[in-house]
Structures are given as C-alpha cells and as structure tokens.
Amino acid sequence: MSEALEPGNTPDASAEGSDHAGRFARLRERTDELELFISGLLAFALLAVPGRIFEAWAGSTVHTEGVYAYALWFGFSTSVGLCYVVALALIAHLAIRGYWVGLIGLKTHFPDGIRWDRIPLMGPVSRAFYRSRVVSLEQVIASADRAASTLFSTTLLFALTMTLIGVGSVLLLSVAGLVGALLGDTDGIALIMVAVVFAALLLVSTVPLVMEKQVARRQARGKPTAGLERAVHRVLGVSQWLIPMRLLLPVQLTLQSNLYARNFMVAYFVAIMAAMTIGGVQTISSAKFSLFNRYEVVTSEAVENGMLSAHYEALRVEHDRLLRYPMIPSDVIQGAMLRLFIPHQPQRDNPQARQRCSALPGGENARVGQDAAQAAVQCLALLWTVTLDGKPVALDGFVPMERRDLEMRGLVGYLPVSALPPGRHDLLLVWNADSDAKGAARRREYRIPFWYAPDPSR
C-alpha cells in the first residue's frame, strides 16, 4: 500500500477546514483592491452610456408602433435606469472605500486612536458625551468595510436582476409580436401572450407562499403534508426554469439573511422601480423645454401659438429630436417656393389609417410603383388639414419623402409664395381635425409663422 493510503497519513478534516479558511482569508485581502478597480472602471463609464442608448432609441422608435414600440421602450428604460443606478451606487461605493482607506491610514499612523485627554476646548461633560457615542477607529473601519462590500454585492445583484428583466421582457415582446404577426393580429395576440407569461410569473412567485402556509397549518394539526410538499417542490422547480436561481439567490439570500430582511427587500424593489422610471423622466425632459421652470408669462401655451424651433429645420437642435413636428426650412423665406415636410409617425398615424383609409385594407399600403406613392399621399391627406394665411392648401400635389437627415419619412410639398406680400405669414396644420378623443388620437394643431423676404437679386 502506498503512504497516501496508510491510516496515519489520512488527511485531517480540521486541517482541510483550516486550509479552506486560509484560502478565503487570502482572497479577502485582494477583494478590496478588486472592488476599487471594478468600481473605478465602471462608475464613470456608465454615466456616458445612457446618452448613446437614448440616441439609438429615439432613432428607432419613430419607425415602429404597437408591441415593437413597447419592446424598444422597455429595453431603453431598463438600460438607462440600470446605467444610472449602478453608476451612482458604484460612486457611493468608491466614496465609502475611500473613507475606509483613509481610516486605515489613520490607524497605521495613530495606533492609539482617539486620545481624549489631549483634545482642546472640551470639558469633562462634553468629553463624556462624545466618548459614549463615538466608536473606535477599529469599529469604524469594520463598519465601512462591511458597508462597502454589502453595497458592492447589492449593486451586482441589482445589475443582474435589471439585465434579466430587460432582456427577458424585450425577448418576450419580440416573440409575441412575431407570433401575433403570423396569426394576423400583432398587438392583440402579443398582449395576450405577455399577459399570460406575466400571470404565470406572478403565480409561480405567490403560490409557494400560500402553499407553505397550508403546510404549516396541516403540520400544526398533525395531518400529513407529503403531497403538499411535493406540489411546492414542483412549483419551485418551474420557477427555476424562469429565474436563474443559482446566479441570483446565493447573493440575495446571503444579504437578506444577514441584514434586516424586510428593509433589504423594500430598498431593493424601490431601486428597481426607480430605475424603471428614470427612462421616462429622461424622455419627458428631452421633449420639454425645461423639466423645472418658472415661466409664468412666456408659457408653453404662449410659445405653441408663437414660434417653436422644432418647426424650422435651420433652428432644430438635438434637444428637438423627439419633437417630430411639421417643418419648413427656416423662419425667413427668400425663394419663390416654400418646402413643407409633414412627418409620418407610425405609432400615431397607423391606427387612424386603418379606420379612415378605406383604399388601403387594414391600413397597409401593399401597392407598387407610382400607385404606392399616390396611395400614401391620399391616405395621409385624410389625416391632415393645411392652410396658409387661412386659405386651404391641397395635399394632392405632395409626394412621399424619406429624410435620412431627420431619420423620418413623410410627405413633402412645395408651396408657391412669390405672390405673397413681404412680411409675416402663417401656416396652420391640423392632424385629425374632427377628433374629439383624448390621448394619442386627440386633435393636434401646429402653427408655423414665417417671414417672406424675397431676394431682390432673383
């Protein structure tokens, strides 16, 4: 027999445990450095990502409607919220770790800590008060170390959760949209599928809690619970196919069982809800002139009946990207023709086209060649009413146009203005003029004043 198999050479369990603890202790010495490296690398880099995500979403959502628009919105909102919340959490982690490093430096140079008898301008009463409430450097170092590690782990757990929510929801909405498109009712069938999946997730999450209470009641009465326990295991087995338990639960349950469980879960879900609302706040702030303002005289109603830069291509900026308004080249027109571009927005126009454009079955333009262009103009002309200085402008002379500089499609027409007198003139465009509905289908007015100043050299 070899020496390894002799009884005297059998490894001692206590020695193995000691070696295991030693390996963890050596790893622990490096985790502080790794935390600082990861936080420093990601914290400020993540703050630059939401702008790119917003640009991608703003450029894509204008081309879609229905369930596909919802998928884009959900992906945008979860991604932006994830970046901002994780970045702020990592910055807080860096601050705590920096404080911890400073405390260790103090402890290294001043091992005795606070020397109460040498603090000037402090009497015995104040000294007794502070000594009863101020902890030692060792305790503060331990608390800061624990807070930093807990925050770092919670941030990673949050990032994983938000990633799974975002990716899972986008995939679900995309698949549901494809199935709905194959069955001829994209939005209706897609929403049913989404509702079924979310209902299943809700049941998988809540049913085990109810069944556990039934098990506890039956055990208290001395009744058998084997069947109920097997049922609980089956439901939990289904949930592990929907939620990656081995990835999330080791971190979640460790934190939950070592902290105040209820407070931890409340803070965790509040962070998730806050992340989900950040995208909406960014969208609102991008569409509005200012999220917080005190304009009590030149109000939004005043400028909507005055001039908005979004109506003039020469004055549009990145902040106007979500304002997909009818546009003319500039506020001052010198040429004999005025170009008017009317954007086509699928999310708003497609439902109206299905109702009002009888020449297009289901609102879908399946024609080819010149017929396709004429059908598009005739359909959108039913949705828009245009007047120049109060006189109707016919849209039958407009043509479909693709504006890659604006990332939009729509109708474009060239209005003769050479017969107009120099000075101010007003274009008024009304979308869905006969509507008394609210929300997306409401009547919308766009007033575009311009000044005609003919070039005398022409």
- pLDDT for residue 17: 54
Q: Measure the CA–CA gap between 53 and 62, rounded to whole angstroms.
A: 15
Inform me whether the pLDDT recorded for 321 exceeds 70: yes
Does residue 315 surpass a pLDDT of 60?
Answer: yes
3-state secondary structure 335-372: CCEEEEEEECCHHHHHHHHHHHCCCCHHHCCCCCCHHH
pLDDT in tens, 213-242: 888 888 888 888 888 888 888 887 777 777
Q: Give the pLDDT mean for 285-308.
A: 85
The confidence score (pLDDT) of residue 457 equals 66
Mean pLDDT of 87-112: 91
pLDDT band at 3 (very low <50, low <70, confident <90, very high): very low
* Residue 4 pLDDT: 42
More confident residue, 288 or 317: 317
pLDDT of residue 285: 80
DSSP-derived pairing of the beta strands 332-333 and 444-452: parallel
Distances (CA, A) of 305 to 289, 300, 434, 442: 15, 9, 20, 18
pLDDT at 257: 83
Q: Which of 14-18, 275-279, 280-284, 396-400 has the lowest mean pLDDT?
A: 14-18
Tell me: pLDDT of 120 over 70: yes
Give the percent of the chain with pLDDT over 90: 33
**Mean pLDDT of the 423-441 span:** 91
Q: How confident is the model over 141-182, as pLDDT tens digits?
A: 999 988 998 888 889 888 888 888 888 888 888 888 787 777
Average pLDDT, the chain: 85
How confident is the model at residue 372, as a pLDDT? 94
Q: What is the pLDDT of residue 23?
A: 57
* Alpha-carbon gap, residue 314 to 303, rounded angstroms: 18
Q: Provide the pLDDT for residue 7.
A: 45
d(CA 10, CA 290): 75
Residues 57-68 have a mean pLDDT of: 86
- Lowest-confidence range among 27-36, 229-238, 283-292, 355-364? 27-36
Question: pLDDT-derived band of residue 116, with 50, 70 and 90 as boundaries?
Answer: confident
Lowest-pLDDT choice from 51-60, 91-100, 134-143, 183-192: 183-192
Per-residue pLDDT at 22: 57
The verdict on pTM exceeding 0.85 is no
Token pair in block for residue 445: 């007015």
Could you report the per-residue pLDDT of 389-431, keeping only the tens digit for each? 999 999 999 999 999 999 999 999 999 999 999 999 999 999 9
Q: Residue 302 pLDDT > 50, yes or no?
A: yes
| The token pair that represents 438 in the structure block | 């609210």
The answer, yes or no, to whether residue 30 has pLDDT greater than 70, is: no
Of 22-36, 109-123, 164-178, 255-269, the least confident? 22-36
Predicted confidence band of residue 1 (pLDDT cuts 50, 70, 90): very low
Residues 91 and 106: their CA atoms lie apart, in Å, by 23
Q: How many other C-beta atoms can be found within 10 angstroms of the C-beta atom of residue 186?
A: 19
Residues 21, 54: Cα–Cα separation, whole Å: 47
Of 133-137, 175-179, 346-350, the poorest mean pLDDT is in 175-179
d(CA 274, CA 264): 15
- Does residue 123 register a pLDDT over 60? yes
Helix (H) or strand (E) holding 76: helix 66-109
What residue has token string 């039958």?
396
Question: CA dihedral in degrees (318, 348, 184, 174; nearest 10)?
Answer: 30
Residue 39 contacts residue 152 (beta carbons within 8 Å): yes
Q: What is the mean pLDDT of residues 306-312?
A: 94
pLDDT of residue 40: 82
Dihedral over Cα of 303, 412, 365, 64: its sign: negative
Mean pLDDT of 287-315: 88
> In Å, what is the CA distance from 448 to each residue of 303, 315, 324, 389, 445?
11, 13, 14, 10, 10
Calculate what percentage of the chain has a pLDDT beyond 70.
92
